[in-house]
Amino acid sequence: MTEALCAQAGFSVWAGLGVALVPCPHAAAPTGGPSYLQVTDVAAARHLGTDWLTPRTLPPNSTRFLDHVRAHPEAVAEQEILA
């Protein structure tokens, strides 16, 4: 999948190079790390899901996260695209 997306973006991946598609780093990310190249206009999508054991009580933060995603799925998806 990564090689196909890179090809759509107009560059190729060399064997052993270690390319990964990741979200943009935050402005506060440390400098001197990996190099980033913005990849745009490629047909990429991902599906996110959550699983948990139904008899288990989730921690409060997990419950708030799930409540938020359930209440605002379109907003959550849009934030991911714009981030």
Each residue's pLDDT, cut to its tens digit, for the chain (83 residues) gives: 777 877 887 877 777 667 777 777 766 667 777 777 777 777 777 676 778 888 888 899 989 988 888 888 777 666 554 44
pLDDT for the residue numbered 79 = 58
pLDDT for the residue numbered 34 = 72
pLDDT for the residue numbered 13 = 75
pTM strictly above 0.75: no
pLDDT for the residue numbered 60 = 93
Token pair belonging to 77: 């998806």
- Please give the torsion angle defined by the CA atoms of residues 63, 66, 72 and 76, in that order, rounded to the nearest 10 degrees: 120
